[in-house]
Structure 1
Amino acid sequence: MLTNAVIVSVIVMVALSLMRVNVLFAITIAALTAGLVSGLNFSDSVNLMVSGMGGQANTAFSYILLGMFAVMIGFSGITTLLVQKMLTIFKGKKIVLVLTIAGIACLSQNVIPVHIAFIPILIPPLLGLFDRLKLDRRAVATALTFGLKAPYVMIPAGFGLIFHGIIRDEMISNKMDISMTQVAEAMLIPGLGMVAGLFIAIFISYRKDRVSKPAEQMDFHGADKVEENQLPASWNITHTFTVIAIIMALVVQIVTKSLVLGALSGIIILFLTRVVPFRRGDRVVQEGIGMMGMIAFVMLIASGYAHVLKETGEVDDLVEKTTSMVGTSPFVLSFFMLLVGLIITMGIGSSFGTIPILAALYVPLCAAAGLSPLATAALIGTAGALGDAGSPASDSTLGPTSGLNADGRHHHIWDTCVPTFLHYNIPLFIFGMIAALML
């Protein structure tokens, strides 16, 4: 089992990432490694990876457009008003600020389902405030990842409705009946593990003062540099048009269920209302790609990597070998099911995409071991969620890095992935085990 392509390639990806190899190279090498270990040659591995990159093309394009939209909002100056207000409210209140950011991030998954779109708009202008407060950016990274992940794990609304719906549908399709209410009940205990992880990060791990190490001088893409002694900005018609554009982008996204159309509608309104002149179009594109282009390409490569793992049959092989080894002991079964989920999701980088892979084999095994539908749902949901926090290829980590690294002083692996892995995957694993054994 240790020679399985999923295990070998994930180890390669994690090792390269920890050695500060750029995540784009790390995932590419991991995908090629998976192909070679599964018996393909270099050429076939590359072709299989490239053919699978289209699976995230819509997401990648939407992130590019969201980057451009964020740049245009920055041009409007409305973030100056927001940050000046936050400078007044949160001066000397680091923990309150971090908890507020976590709360805003939670709203982005359920109440206003914009996912990571708010990060490049809100976070870059606050970096100066973080440094003045000597706020450890790792605390902010864990707060953002909590808000991007915990709501869909626990709450069946917005993205959570999709996540819980996938768990329910996949369990039913594998002949184990369960309702959405039961799925939500099952996922509550694992979700509480994430709450515990957030509090440990904020109140214990990253409470001390820390200023990020200076990097080479970089411009803030689309972000207003707000100084504490800057004269207060006043509301004007440009800000009104910007708010209208943001609301319209949100409405279009919710109605059409398309991030691309939502971002495009906001961009068009800001151009038509002259908040951003047409002559600034080239700069908007350049800075938008500079802000979100890295995330877009990582998502494309990650999709190709996931395609290699699935098409070679290595994921199914890993699950089958693991389940055949562990027998029917609920404790041992739960432990290894969660461990396999962690490995797979670390590679694929998607909780939502992992559920169908796991459910097909986990449901019959849980039924044979006498586990209840609630316990089965908790295991499948937790196994899918494990690894999303901490995965270099996940938008739950790429999103926070895109905002916190706007000045080049926040490392994706050591300042985002490692902290979120430790503070969320470990509690998720423990609380997922508790849920499986209690329910």
Structure 2
Amino acid sequence: MKKLAIISEFNPFHNGHKYLIDKAKEFTKTDLAISLMSGDFVQRGEASLIDKYSRAEAALDNGFDLVIEMPNFISLQSAEFFSYKSIELLNKLKIDYLAFGIENLDSEKFLEISAKIINNNELVEELTKNFIDSKHSFTEARYLALKKFLVVDDFISSNNILALEYIRSISKINPQIKPIPIRRLGANNQDLNIKDEKFASSTSIRRNLSGNIKKLMPYSSYQKLKDFQENYKIASKEKLFDIFKYKLMIEESPIKDSLCYEEGLDNYFRQLLKNNPSYDEFINLAVSRRNTKARVKRLMINYILNNHKYLNEIDFNFVKVLAFNEKATRIFRDIKEDLRIVIRKSDIENLSSDDLLIYENMVKASNLYSLLIERDFNSDFTRNISIKKTYEAN
């Protein structure tokens, strides 16, 4: 059975995501489409617009057979770690293809440039280190190193750099996985405004929720967004900030072991917090050449969730299922000797101590999200996951 995977946030699931999965399935002719999707907290260090189950169900309605949850300690890291740990998990699912979106270039040109960068990795790493030594953040240093190495700018975008990291991780973990880059239509990942009648970035959709976004999303995804908005509040960043302030300033819990921490940030944060800034004021004050907004926001959530650096060393061997159809049950049979499948609470009984640690951390993040949107706790245990009917012809 040939398996295609896409690493995703779907925050929310829009027409560009639908285009990506449709094109990827057309190119690869695979039997099963898998999404490894961020849970309720995403890579930019924010709570998702709608919950993980709603997004997973939208993905299942629009071409995927199986959606599994990415542990939040992975989703709350930079592109390098985000990609490596994601590919590491997907490799255990024995995927054959990884599809992802790219910008500005066609697929062949993108693969050609990516190969050039990877084949000259030592030089790129040296350039990156030089920029880090000049007080740039890793993300900014990588950007500047690639710009200097390539000379041209059309490759350089956050979306393309993440795609490059996917290819780099594949080359290290399992070169037999075939990367499938697919050029985005209508909008780039960082576009803030809606410019196209059919395609828009997730960012621009989130910024224009009161506008006419219905045409930019598949019907089921739009409906799930509206249903969620009717039942829950948008996650409160000020409430999240209050938890962070309490933990750092009153409880004085150590932050140094948290993922994304860099020496001196604890003292710097405490100085900024003395004047009781708002969330946005604090983020803007905390940003520097060395620390991007995303890094600061990721660090805050990692700190709240006790996501310590040792988590990167854990070799966990389970997948937490968010949505699946009848076709996906075939992969459960194929991988059950290598990976534990967690669909309901009773499935955690056979998890190892390391696996249980990761699982409980995922539940903790879900409960933090519940606090922010004013939802009942322990939704991971009360949300029913049903098997969606499908047809073998799909």
Question: Quick check: TM above 0.5?
Answer: no
Q: TM-score, normalised by structure 2?
A: 0.30
**More strand by proportion, 1 or 2?**
2
**More helix by proportion, 1 or 2?**
1
Q: TM-score, normalised by structure 1?
A: 0.28
User: Taking CA–CA contacts closer than 8 Å with sequence separation of 6 or more, which of the two structures ends up with the larger relative contact order?
Assistant: 1
